[in-house]
Amino acid sequence: MSAAEESVRVWLVERTYSDDEQNLIILTYATPDGERYFRKERALTSFSDVRDTTAAVDVEPGNLGAVDDPDLQTQYATEATRMADEHDPEDVI
């Protein structure tokens, strides 16, 4: 089994700024069913520090958390499905 077969594709569903830390963006990606999520924190060190945020990323299953809140699960599923329908995984968002 290849690494690609072992990974799970998740789609960007939320981008927020941390309340605790300055210059920290929290990117939340979720599976299309909204049941699992992946959270990525990114520090904004400078304007010249360019790191693209893509519509989707592939992650190892062990790096995914469970979404226990049914309302949040529905929200994530709706947004992940919308992103998958409107964007290619490597599209910069």
Give the span between the Cα atoms of 18 and 68, in whole angstroms: 22
Residue 91 lies in a domain: no
Quote the number of domains for the chain: 1
Residue 40 lies in a domain: yes
Report pLDDT for 52.
Answer: 83
Residue 61 lies in a domain: yes
Report pLDDT for 22.
Answer: 72
Report pLDDT for 84.
Answer: 97
Residue 7 lies in a domain: yes
pLDDT mean by block of 10 residues, the chain; 93 residues? 73 88 86 97 68 92 98 98 97 92
Cα atoms in the 13 Å half-sphere on the side-chain side of 88: 3
Residue 81 lies in a domain: yes
Residue 77 lies in a domain: yes
Residue 92 lies in a domain: no
Amino acid at 58: D
Residue 67 lies in a domain: yes
Report pLDDT for 1.
Answer: 42
**Two tokens, residue 56:** 């989707």
Report pLDDT for 18.
Answer: 75
Report pLDDT for 17.
Answer: 85
Domain span at residue 49 reads 3-86
Give the span between the Cα atoms of 26 and 15, in whole angstroms: 6
